[in-house]
Amino acid sequence: MGKDISKTTHTFLFCDGGSCQKKGSEQVVRTARAYLRNNGLWNTTHTIKTRCNGRCEDAPTCIVNSNEYWYKELTPEKIIPIVKSHIENNQPVEADLLYQKGWEQMTSTKELAPFKPKPFELKNDEELGECFITKGFSSDQYLYPLFLFLFENAEGVILNLINKTPIQFKDIISVDYSNTHTLELTTRRDTIELTIASVPKENKELQQSKISSTEYFYQKETQQTGIRFKNKFGKLIGKIIFDSIDNKVWEYCTSIQLLNTKLDVI
């Protein structure tokens, strides 16, 4: 049977994202769990592997007691004193803390400056002609919300994929991201797969189909706005076209996807 969590006193949430895995998070988790098992603490504590905790620069990380204490740069040697201190004394090990509830700032020594898209730049693009263009984000944390928003606000939005008939977003009946790497857009006639998640380097087919570059553009001559997708090799995957610069989705793109990077075409 499962663990009776009503009997647990402490919960340890270990990040199991890619950056933490590369920095040795699995051995940290195994060490903590072995200590709890061997000291008769298994049934009164709970350990959970999470997806990315959002602090990759401080990997490996762990959160204790649901957001009360955040630990950074963990090792198997550090984790046992941390576990013991919380269980035996209800006290953190401050030397290894990234943050605890009530602090006004974190103690990261590896903080990265947040990425912000560059302003729109006027270019003479080989495909688009003279246009204002900038790059946005291409992780699934941005692309899946983008396609959901397009699906929910489909008026005046057209998807053009290479070697496929253009699709109006209002003809899409579902957007599903339950597969490991691919987003599925389903119409009454077809299901379109778009690779939006990180993919194994050895899988050449997925590397070719993965959206790795997302560009937002405004064509001067046609006054058309849209999004262009390319793979990591610079090959065009497809485009999304909006019927006007006043389309609600374009406003969403500049404010949410591009973090308030406004387009000034005057």
Q: What is the pLDDT of residues 110-142, one digit of tens each?
A: 888 878 899 999 999 999 999 999 999 999 999
Contact by Cβ (8 Å): 154, 185: no
How far apart (Å, rounded) are the C-alpha atoms in residues 152 and 170? Answer: 9
Contacts of 4 (CB under 8 A, 6+ apart): 43
State the average pLDDT for the chain.
94
- Residue 118 CA, chain-centre distance (Å), reads 20
Question: Is the predicted pLDDT of residue 159 greater than 90, yes or no?
Answer: yes
Euclidean distance between CA atoms 98 and 40, whole angstroms? 29
What pLDDT is stored for residue 127 in this prediction? 93
Residue 265 above 90 pLDDT? Answer: no
- Residue pair 229/217 in contact by the 8 Å Cβ criterion: no
Radius of gyration (C-alpha) of the chain in whole angstroms = 23
Mean pLDDT value of segment 76-98: 96
Whether the bond into 60 is cis, omega within 30 of 0 = yes
The predicted structure's pLDDT at residue 70: 97
Q: Find the mean pLDDT for residues 21-31.
A: 96
State pTM to two decimals.
0.79
Q: How far apart are CA 163 and CA 43, in angstroms?
A: 57
Domains of the chain from N-terminus onward: 5-100 (3.40.30.10), 121-257 (3.40.1570)
